Structure 1
């Protein structure tokens, strides 16, 4: 039987914002010994009560790993205002802050720390690994490039994209002058609303089924973004300099069912670009992006791959 412990730690590069997390301990864990540890980073608009903690950190602990899942800065129960901002820099710093915390624990071997993330959390974790070489092995589960996703969402062409950025800039000015924070939904509020909008993409359909139903809904992960923070996602590219800096052992796991969140496409692109000599791209047939969030067959297969990957490198 695994055990858990709720923890908090500071993100020193973000002015000391307090981060809420949970350690997942394997059965018969011996605190007198040094152990490897894995940081688990949640998707966008998510928290650690969902796939990162409930599925991946739990399943890794069941296989003997010490795992740390946490709520990213500005999200979940972690500090950061305006809350529910999606800030790539802060999401990347969250990975580093989690490692800072692990470095303070007497039972963690600092030379055997790995990191992984799901969806957008995968992209942010790959980004962190490029320059934080305390990460000795890194993995992405259906990793998403949120920059490309939001560039395509908010701009059918360059002119439209710039217009969107100008509107976000005006909104930020209004908020600086005292206007209320503007939030936008991350997803249509229901399948009916999605259908009325003419959206038929499988990732959007399955995201609604995951995030907005009892299957995956959590009170600390509302279906919204701070509108002006989207501009920072538009400017983000986790693959920049990967051909020079992405040197650690790399594992990418995707399903072969393509959708709007682009993990199938991004998985191939990042794998091809990464400088690592030790890298593997696993493509699961008939598996969608959200199958890799919580569906038993897909997640069991992914965790088995992660267990082998981290086991051979940490």
Structure 2
């Protein structure tokens, strides 16, 4: 059993509570001071999945305090309507989690790092552009959600999707119900039946729609009309100038449609101002292998822990 407890802290900008899981090392002493990691969950996920129970568990074993939180509008955090994915808010949530961390007497405010998985990996890198309380960041199979929405998620027709979002938003402003889209098939059998067998789509279904990773807070849904801002967002904008902290990206070389391999290489190439940029490429490993599979996670942590020890 991990030594942990659930907490809430206030998102003062938006006046709603944020829910988080704080994880402690086995020998935790509240009178001591600890390096701390802010752990950011993927798009469509929650703190009880890979950000908390997988990477959080691995990090506390190495002596870190970990704060894994639910994004605004998602999981147990506040914000309405539910199921909104707002990149600027997701980045601001990271700063709010840091605000909470530095209020804790056992957190060393000069030794705070961030990690994130999938969309969370790109969000934590984006946060580091302006959030200099982050001393180092790690993007694990990071996906730049703006790029993904402009390409595959919009079927390479971003302007058409924006027009549809505009029409739907007008309907909702006039009293129609919100359009909440389910992003994955309900089961592997349905995915196979519909021909949705591309690696990332199929493995996402296996993770989120089976007992492997399914969690009540990890709703793979999105309010369609409120996703407009995603299409104009770029997680890595201005990274050449503003990303000065050490940054590591960990990617699997089994490429899928969500584009984490490509995005990981892109931010590594852009991070020319970083004090230490590192790219970890793992053979025969896919995007969703890095969510919770024992060997891929262990291989990732073999690189992440020395990197954090050096910089945090």
Q: Normalising by structure 2, report the TM-score.
A: 0.96
User: What's the secondary structure of 2:42's corresponding residue?
Assistant: coil
1:311 corresponds to which of 304, 309, 312: 309
Judge conservation of contact 1:2–1:62 (CA < 8 Å) in 2: no
Q: Distance in 1 between matches of 2:153 and 2:32?
A: 50
Which segment drifts farther, 295-304 or 195-204?
195-204
Q: Is the 8 A contact 1:51 1:294 kept in 2?
A: yes
Q: How does 1:148-227 map to 2 (within 5 A)?
A: 148-157=147-156, 160-227=157-224
Structure 2 CA distance for aligned equivalents of residues 174 and 217 of structure 1: 33
Secondary structure of 2:126's match? Answer: helix
Deviations 1:38-67 (A, max 9, x none): 000000010011111110011111121111
Give the corresponding residue for 2:69: 70
Matches within 5 A, 1:12-51: 12-13=12-13, 15-51=14-50
- Counterpart CA distance in 1 for 2:40 and 2:31 is 27
SS of the residue aligned with 1:135? coil
Q: What's 2:111 paired with?
A: 112
**2:5 aligns to what?**
5
Cα separation, 2, equivalents of 1:12 and 1:254: 35
Q: TM-score scaled to structure 1, two decimals?
A: 0.96
State the 1:191 CA deviation.
2.7
Select 1:265's aligned residue among 262, 266, 273.
Answer: 262
- Equivalenced residue count is 311
- Mapped contact 1:138–1:248 kept (Cα < 8 A): yes
What SS does the corresponding residue of 1:231 show, helix, strand or coil? helix
Tell me if the contact between 1:140 and 1:251 (Cα under 8 Å) persists in the aligned partners. yes
Asked if 1 retains the 8 angstrom alpha-carbon contact of 2:148 and 2:259, the reply is: yes
**Which deviations, in whole Å up to 9, do the C-alpha atoms of 1:19-52 show, x marking residues without a partner?**
0001100011121122110000000010011111
CA contact (8 A) 1:7 1:21 kept: yes
Unaligned runs of 5+ in 1: none
Q: 1:237 aligns with which of 234, 237, 244?
A: 234
- Secondary structure (helix, strand or coil) at the match of 2:114 reads strand
Q: SS where residue 81 of structure 2 aligns?
A: coil
- Aligned-residue offset at 1:247: 0.7
Structure 2 Cα separation of the partners of residues 190 and 156 of structure 1:
22
1:124 CA drift (Å): 0.7
Deviation at 1:154, TM superposition (A): 4.6
Helix, strand or coil at the partner of 1:76: coil
Any idea what SS the aligned residue of 1:285 has? strand
CA contact (8 A) 2:86 2:229 kept: yes
The CA distance in 1 between the partners of 2:2 and 2:207, in whole Å, is: 25
Pick which of 237-246 and 217-226 moved more.
Answer: 217-226
Q: CA RMSD in A?
A: 1.3
Q: Does 1:59 align with 2:58?
A: yes
Q: Is the 8 A contact 1:11 1:93 kept in 2?
A: no
Answering whether residue 98 of structure 2 is matched by residue 99 of structure 1, we say yes
User: What is the CA distance between 1:304 and its match in structure 2?
Assistant: 2.5
Alpha-carbon distance between aligned partners in 2 of 1:215 and 1:194, rounded to the nearest angstrom: 16
